[in-house]
């Protein structure tokens, strides 16, 4: 089973305050006590953070820096080959460093002048309502840990490489940042978890795994593809279907595999018209109608 960049490791805090990140048995770092201790310490810093506090800075090791250098270099090459022009140009304007892992406040300092987005630390999985709702304030919750050094081009969970090389390069585009903000504003209108999950699924097939046609080629704009060394090479082999909000919000998919079905836009304008319009107008009643069920 392929599980790249999809599953967050659960994080728990005991009565004594000790924080534990529960890595899966298949995680490359599960048998490395030094890595596990690092993950626990980084998660603990994120859990202690409160809005308004200085963003915790991680003293990354030489091994972690080397992982970033390897992956940053490889993904930059693939971005030029497979990403859409909007993302390529946004990444150039953002200018993320390739020689070191940027601290989250460094990412914020680069993003704010471009689109106003700020990064805040997350220990792991952030509840859907909080994660998406924060977009309305142009805040993105990001992990700070780095994948295990034994497999720099693979991760079984989203790490800082996904959050920064994937999402920050996308968020540096004013057009894509506006879509995030619109999705975030929608959360305040949604009362049911069913409607929130529907919005999250549409976001999954657009801002995470979205593709579009450009100059006779299919190119990607989704952060999940932009940050995946493997899947960015394979997405053109997926079953490419037109944008369809009903399908994007109801199709069954497996987050532990490459996505076999992707929804392909004809342009960024179509993404704004179709996905953006959905984010701007969605309500619980909209989702109930799309799913063909009665509102709760």
The pTM score is 0.94
Assess contact for 171 and 140: CB atoms under 8 A.
yes
Q: How far apart are CA 134 and CA 7, in angstroms?
A: 21
Single out the catalytic residue among 72, 86, 167, 272: 167
Q: How far apart are CA 153 and CA 212, in angstroms?
A: 25
50-86 tens-digit pLDDT:
999 999 999 999 999 999 999 999 999 999 999 999 9
pLDDT of residue 110: 98
Residue 191 falls in the annotated catalytic set: no
Q: How many CB atoms lie within 10 A of CB 249?
A: 23
Single out the catalytic residue among 86, 163, 208, 231: 208
Single out the catalytic residue among 27, 141, 148, 162: 162
**Where do we find the tokens 């990607």?**
220
Q: Tell me the CA distances in angstroms from 134 to 14, 27, 35, 184, 236, one per residue in order.
A: 27, 29, 30, 6, 32
pLDDT of residue 293: 53
Q: How far apart are CA 157 and CA 137, in angstroms?
A: 26
Assess contact for 195 and 203: CB atoms under 8 A.
no
> Sign of the CA dihedral 48, 53, 59, 63?
positive
Q: How far apart are CA 249 and CA 84, in angstroms?
A: 24
101-143 tens-digit pLDDT:
999 999 999 999 999 999 999 999 999 999 999 999 999 999 9
Residue 167 falls in the annotated catalytic set: yes
pLDDT (tens digit, 0 to 9) for every residue of the chain, 296 residues total? Answer: 233 444 689 999 999 999 999 999 989 999 999 999 999 999 999 999 999 999 999 999 999 999 999 999 999 999 999 999 999 999 999 999 999 999 999 999 999 999 999 999 999 999 999 999 999 999 999 999 999 999 999 998 999 999 999 999 999 999 999 999 999 999 999 999 999 999 999 999 999 999 999 999 999 999 999 999 999 999 999 999 999 999 999 998 888 789 999 999 999 999 999 999 999 999 999 999 998 754 33
Which value, to the nearest 10 degrees, does the dihedral of the CA atoms of residues 140, 145, 147, 153 take?
40
Residue 208 falls in the annotated catalytic set: yes
Q: How far apart are the first and last CA of the chain?
A: 37
Single out the catalytic residue among 227, 228, 231, 272: 227
């Amino acid at each position: 089973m392929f599980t790249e960049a999809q599953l967050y490791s659960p994080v728990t805090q005991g009565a004594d305050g000790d924080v534990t990140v529960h890595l899966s048995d298949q995680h490359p770092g599960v048998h490395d006590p030094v890595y596990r201790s690092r993950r626990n310490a980084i998660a603990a810093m994120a859990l202690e953070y409160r809005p308004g506090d200085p963003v915790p800075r991680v003293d990354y090791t030489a091994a972690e820096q080397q992982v970033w250098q390897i992956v940053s270099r490889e993904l930059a090459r693939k971005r030029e080959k497979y990403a859409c022009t909007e993302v390529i140009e946004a990444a150039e304007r953002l200018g993320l460093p390739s020689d070191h892992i940027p601290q989250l406040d460094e990412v914020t300092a680069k993003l704010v002048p471009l689109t106003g987005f700020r990064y805040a630390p997350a220990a792991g999985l952030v509840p859907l309502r909080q994660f998406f709702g924060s977009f309305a304030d142009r805040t993105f919750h990001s992990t700070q840990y780095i994948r295990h050094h034994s497999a720099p081009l693979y991760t079984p969970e989203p790490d800082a490489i996904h959050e920064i090389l994937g999402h920050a390069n996308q968020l540096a585009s004013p057009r894509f940042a506006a879509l995030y903000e619109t999705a975030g504003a929608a959360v305040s209108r949604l009362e049911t978890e069913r409607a929130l999950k529907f919005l999250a699924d549409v976001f999954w097939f657009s801002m995470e795994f979205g593709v579009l046609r450009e100059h006779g080629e299919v190119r990607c704009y989704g952060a999940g593809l932009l940050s995946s060394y493997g899947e960015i090479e394979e997405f053109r082999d997926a079953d490419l279907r037109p944008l369809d909000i009903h399908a994007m919000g109801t199709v069954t998919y497996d987050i532990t595999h490459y996505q076999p079905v992707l929804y392909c836009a004809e342009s960024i304008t179509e993404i704004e018209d179709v996905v953006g319009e959905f984010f701007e107008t969605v309500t619980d009643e909209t989702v109930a109608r799309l799913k063909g069920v009665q509102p709760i």
